[in-house]
Amino acid sequence: MNLLITGGAGFIGSHVVRLFVKAYPNYSIYNLDKLSYAGNLENIKDIERAENYTFLKGDINDSTYLGAIFNKYKFDSVIHLAAESHVDRSIEDPIAFVKTNIIGTINLLDQCRKHWGDNKEHLFYHISTDEVYGSLGSSGLFEETTGYDPNSPYSASKASSDHFVRAYGETYKIPYVITNCSNNYGANQFPEKLIPLFINNILNNESLPVYGDGLYTRDWLFVEDHALAIDLVFHKGKIKETYNIGGFNEWKNIDLIRLLCNLMDQKLKRDEGTSEKLITYIKDRPGHDRRYAIDASKINKELGWKPSVTFEEGLDKTIDWYLNNNEWLNNVTSGIYKEYYGKMYFK
Ligand code: NAD
Ligand code: TYD
């Protein structure tokens, strides 16, 4: 099996690449990543010398390059994670999201169409998000049958790429599967998303910018459990199916932030309440989705997946990882990081 994984130097992709390289020594794993601000080879340093692993630096928007690597490596299947992934950045620069998330996905699909023909022994696995379903009221859960209703440029670009995957499946008979997952947290997440940003800011005694009233709800899943779900769906998922992945783990932002502050005070041996003082309510994110919550019963019933760690365990491991990986954090927050985060217009 020659398996192409895109975006494998990023947050979720690095956990997926590591899992596959270790669990499947008989597969040849190719990691294609352009190494954007969010891609970092340090994330997969421990497996870079593995015999079944090859890193390919390239852009999914470069179809000539894609054609060359498809010719050379004859990929049997693709797990596609490469994307622009942060909602706030999509508000600042929507076109970048259209280019990578929509056009980049189509470029990959097109290579599969050209190289796979009618052969059914392939799989295009698209990693997507629950944000395509839009926003929930105070009750209800996103099911696989929930209609798409994206509100941010990020979620609109992911919704569009999901549609193109389906369209290529119907039109050109490319075998595909799609999973839509809730918010991930864990090691190696770039400190722009809520949990690593706030860990970093607490460490540096900087303010914790809470958007709007802080009563927005997200459903959090430990990244290693997402990677295990991806492994299961890749091997056992039914062609043309969609599976929702989530931890039945809803938190209002402000409750999660208070929990994080308490845990950080304990770990840093600071007085109780020290980190909470950094909380600053700021202007809301435009188009901010009120609530996401996943019904993950299909993947549980059909494939037997469920999260392996509780939120308390996952968060504890995550905080410890950031505390023990100061150099990683310093590296990714050096250079233009501070300038960028200082100028986000709604902060
Ligand atoms: P990330 O931003 O941490 O990593 C994305 C990776 O893609 C980076 O390594 C980057 O260098 C690479 N990349 C970006 N543009 C590229 C291009 N044009 N060509 C090649 N490589 C490119 O993202 P993540 O949080 O790991 O998300 C991975 C995937 O999972 C995305 O498709 C995202 O939509 C999806 N997802 C993320 C979450 C989440 O909570 N983070 C939840 C559900 C789904
Ligand atoms: P985020 O980690 O950006 O993920 P997403 O928007 O894809 O769900 O944000 C999670 C929640 O935290 C979301 O409701 C926005 C909120 N948030 C803040 O209040 N302040 C921040 O600085 C960030 C980054 C997010």
Average pLDDT over residues 259-274: 98
Q: Tell me how far the alpha carbon of residue 192 lies from the centroid of ligand 2, in angstroms.
A: 9
| Whether residue 93 lies in the annotated active site | no
Reported as a single tens digit per residue, the pLDDT across 51-106 is 999 999 999 999 999 999 999 999 999 999 999 999 999 999 999 999 999 999 99
CA-nearest residue for atom 12, ligand 2, is: 194
Residue 272: its pLDDT value, please? 97
Q: Which residues, 6+ apart, have CB-to-CB distance to 1 below 8 Å?
A: 24, 26, 27, 28, 76, 77
Give yes or no for a contact between 178 and 186, defined as CB atoms under 8 angstroms apart.
no
Average pLDDT over residues 15-28: 98
- What's the rounded Cα separation, in Å, for the pair 146 and 81? 22
Q: Is the CB of 83 under 6 A from ligand 1?
A: yes
Average pLDDT over residues 231-243: 98
Average pLDDT over residues 256-285: 97
Q: Is the CB of 201 under 6 A from ligand 2?
A: no
Relative orientation angle of helices 311-324 and 194-203, to the nearest 10 degrees: 50
Whether the per-residue pLDDT at 345 is higher than 60: the answer is no
Q: What is the mean pLDDT of the chain?
A: 96
Residue 338: its pLDDT value, please? 73
What are the two backbone dihedrals, phi and then psi, of residue 279, each rounded to the nearest 5 degrees? -65, 125
Q: Is the CB of 209 under 6 A from ligand 2?
A: yes
Probe residue for ligand 1, chosen from 5, 36, 142, 195 as the CB with the greatest number of ligand atoms within 8 Å: 36
DSSP secondary structure letter of residue 191: T
Residue type, 109: L
Probe residue for ligand 1, chosen from 5, 6, 11 as the CB with the greatest number of ligand atoms within 8 Å: 11
Band (347; pLDDT cuts 50, 70, 90): low
Residue with tokens 């993947």: 299
Residue with tokens 């039945």: 248
Q: Which two three-digit tokens encode residue 202?
A: 């607490």
Q: Tell me how far the alpha carbon of residue 228 lies from the centroid of ligand 2, in angstroms.
A: 24
Q: Tell me how far the alpha carbon of residue 170 lies from the centroid of ligand 2, in angstroms.
A: 35
- What is the model's pTM? 0.98
Q: Tell me how far the alpha carbon of residue 254 lies from the centroid of ligand 2, in angstroms.
A: 11
- Closest ligand, as measured to the CA of 341: 2
Residue 344: its pLDDT value, please? 58
In this prediction, what percent of the chain has a pLDDT beyond 70?
A: 98
Q: Which residues, 6+ apart, have CB-to-CB distance to 221 below 8 Å?
A: 181, 182, 183, 184, 185, 245, 246, 247, 249, 307
